[in-house]
C-alpha cells in the first residue's frame, strides 16, 4: 500500500514540460503535496530527501533485529539515497508494560543494530511504547526509577528533551512528544508546557521558511477510523490514544502559521494522507508491519521516502523492503 494515491494531479502542459524528469522522479511526482498554486513540479528545487522509519518495534523474537537491519540497508542502497533518517517512535516492541530486564534487552538490540547498520544522520522521535513503566503492574515499576517514563528512551537516543526543533536544508523541523500519561496508560496530547513551547517556536520561524512537524501519533488521520472496529456502536469513535485529542487546538495554531506544510506520523501501522487547511498529514506505516508477524491490514513492513522542496512542497512515498514474517 502506498501513501501517494490521490496526489496533486498535473496539467497536460506540466506533464509535457516535465518531460524526461517525469521518468526520473517516478511516482514521487504524483504525490506532490501542496502543489496548488506552486510552480510546475519539474521546476521545483529539491533541498533534501529523507527516510521516515516509524514503528520499528525491535525485539529479540521473530528476527526483528535482522528486519531492522534489512530496512536500513534498503534505505541506504536507494539509487537516490536519502541524506537524513527521521524515526517516528516505537523503536522497541514495548516498555510501557515490560520489566527492567526486558526493556534493557530491547534497547540494547536497537542500539546495536543502529550502530552497525546506519551511517546516515538521524533524528529521533519518541513513541508511546518507548515510555517505560506507565503500566506499573506489568512493568513492576514504582515511578521513582532513574530511567522511568521517557528518560530511558531519551538516554539511548541522546535527547536532552522529549520534544525539540532544528533547521535543515532551508526547512524548520519540529519534533513533538505525543505521549501524555494518563492513569496507567496514555492519551495523544501535548501538555500545556509543550504547547506553549510549540507556539513560541513557530512564532520565531520566518514566514517564508517551510515547517515539517514530526510526531509519533497522528495529529490528523483517516486511517485512525479504520484501525479497529470504531463504528461498532453505530457512531464513529476514534480513541484519543490513536489520534491527537488536541488536534483542533493544534490545527488552530497551524492556521495562524501557513508555513506549516507537512506533518509526519506513525503509530497506526497504516498508511494514509490527509490534506487539510494547507497542511498535508502523512501516516507512514510501520517498519515492523504487523509487529513482525507480517503486514497489518493492507500495510506491509516499510518506510517512507520524503522529498522536501525549496518552495515548501513535499512528496512522500511508502516503500516496502520485502521483509517476510519469521519464526
Q: Which residues bind Zn ion (CB under 5 A)?
A: 55, 90
Q: Select 222 or 253, whichever has its Cβ closest to Zn ion.
A: 222
Closer CB to Zn ion, residue 2 or residue 284?
284
Q: How far is the CB of 16 from Zn ion (least distance, A)?
A: 43
Residue 168 CB, shortest distance to Zn ion, in Å, is: 26
Q: What is each CA distance from 132 to 199, 258, 269, in whole angstroms?
A: 28, 36, 21
Burial category of 190 from C-beta neighbours within 10 Å (exposed 0-12, middle 13-18, buried 19 and up)? buried
Residues in the chain: 327
Cβ 91 to Zn ion shortest distance, Å: 10
Residue found by looking up cell 495523544 in the block: 188
220 within 8 A of 245, measured Cβ to Cβ: no
Q: In whole angstroms, what is the distance from residue 274 CA to residue 201 CA?
A: 24
Which lies closer to Zn ion via its Cβ, residue 55 or residue 227? 55
Min CB(115)–Zn ion separation in Å:
22
| In the complex, minimum distance from the CB of residue 284 to Zn ion, in angstroms, rounded to a whole number | 12
Between residues 90 and 246, which has the closer beta carbon with respect to Zn ion?
A: 90
State the Rg of the chain over Cα. 19
| Cβ contact 93:64 at 8 Å | yes
Q: Which residues contact 20 (CB under 8 A, 6 or more apart)?
A: none
Least distance in Å: CB of 77 to Zn ion?
25
Minimum Å gap between C-beta 286 and Zn ion is 6
Smaller CB distance to Zn ion: residue 202 or 243?
Answer: 243
Question: Is the CB of 186 or the CB of 309 nearer to Zn ion?
Answer: 186
- Closest C-alpha among 107, 150, 93 to residue 126: 150
Which stretch of DSSP H or E encloses residue 24? helix 21-25
Q: What is the distance, to the nearest Å, from the Cα of residue 294 to the centroid of all Cα atoms in its chain?
A: 20
- What is d(CA 221, CA 125) in angstroms, rounded to the nearest whole number? 18
Q: Specify the residue, 7 or 288, whose C-beta has the smaller distance to Zn ion.
A: 288
Amino acid at each position: 500500500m502506498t501513501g501517494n494515491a490521490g496526489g496533486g494531479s498535473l496539467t497536460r502542459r506540466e506533464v509535457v514540460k516535465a518531460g524526461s524528469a517525469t521518468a526520473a522522479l517516478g511516482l514521487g511526482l504524483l504525490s506532490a503535496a501542496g502543489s496548488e498554486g506552486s510552480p510546475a513540479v519539474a521546476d521545483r528545487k529539491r533541498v533534501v530527501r529523507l527516510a521516515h522509519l516509524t514503528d520499528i518495534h525491535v525485539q529479540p523474537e521473530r528476527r526483528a533485529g535482522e528486519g531492522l537491519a534489512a530496512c536500513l540497508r534498503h534505505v541506504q542502497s536507494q539509487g537516490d539515497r536519502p541524506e537524513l533518517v527521521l524515526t517516528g517512535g516505537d523503536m522497541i516492541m514495548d516498555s510501557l508494560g515490560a520489566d527492567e530486564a526486558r526493556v534493557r534487552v530491547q534497547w540494547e538490540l536497537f542500539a546495536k543494530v543502529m550502530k552497525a547498520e546506519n551511517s546516515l544522520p538521524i533524528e529521533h522521535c519518541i513513541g508511546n511504547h518507548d515510555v517505560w513503566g506507565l503500566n506499573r503492574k506489568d512493568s513492576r515499576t514504582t515511578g521513582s526509577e532513574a530511567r522511568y517514563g521517557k528518560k530511558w528512551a531519551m538516554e539511548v537516543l541522546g535527547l536532552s528533551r522529549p520534544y525539540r526543533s532544528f533547521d535543515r536544508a532551508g526547512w524548520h523541523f519540529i519534533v513533538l512528544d505525543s505521549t501524555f500519561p494518563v492513569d496507567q496508560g496514555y492519551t495523544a496530547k501535548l501538555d500545556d508546557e509543550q504547547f506553549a513551547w510549540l507556539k513560541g517556536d513557530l512564532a520565531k520561524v520566518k514566514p517564508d521558511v517551510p515547517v515539517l512537524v514530526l510526531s509519533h501519533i497522528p495529529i490528523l488521520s483517516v486511517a485512525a477510523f479504520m484501525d479497529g472496529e470504531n463504528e461498532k456502536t453505530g457512531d464513529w469513535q476514534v480513541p484519543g490514544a490513536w489520534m491527537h485529542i488536541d488536534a483542533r487546538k493544534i490545527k488552530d495554531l497551524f492556521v495562524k502559521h501557513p508555513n506549516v506544510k507537512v506533518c509526519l506520523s506513525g503509530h497506526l501501522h497504516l498508511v494514509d494522507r490527509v490534506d487539510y487547511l494547507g497542511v498535508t498529514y502523512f501516516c507512514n506505516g510501520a517498519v515492523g508491519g504487523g509487529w513482525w508477524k507480517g503486514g497489518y491490514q493492507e500495510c506491509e513492513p516499510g518506510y517512507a521516502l520524503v522529498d522536501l522542496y525549496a518552495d515548501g512542497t513535499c512528496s512522500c512515498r511508502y516503500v516496502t523492503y520485502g521483509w517476510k514474517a519469521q519464526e
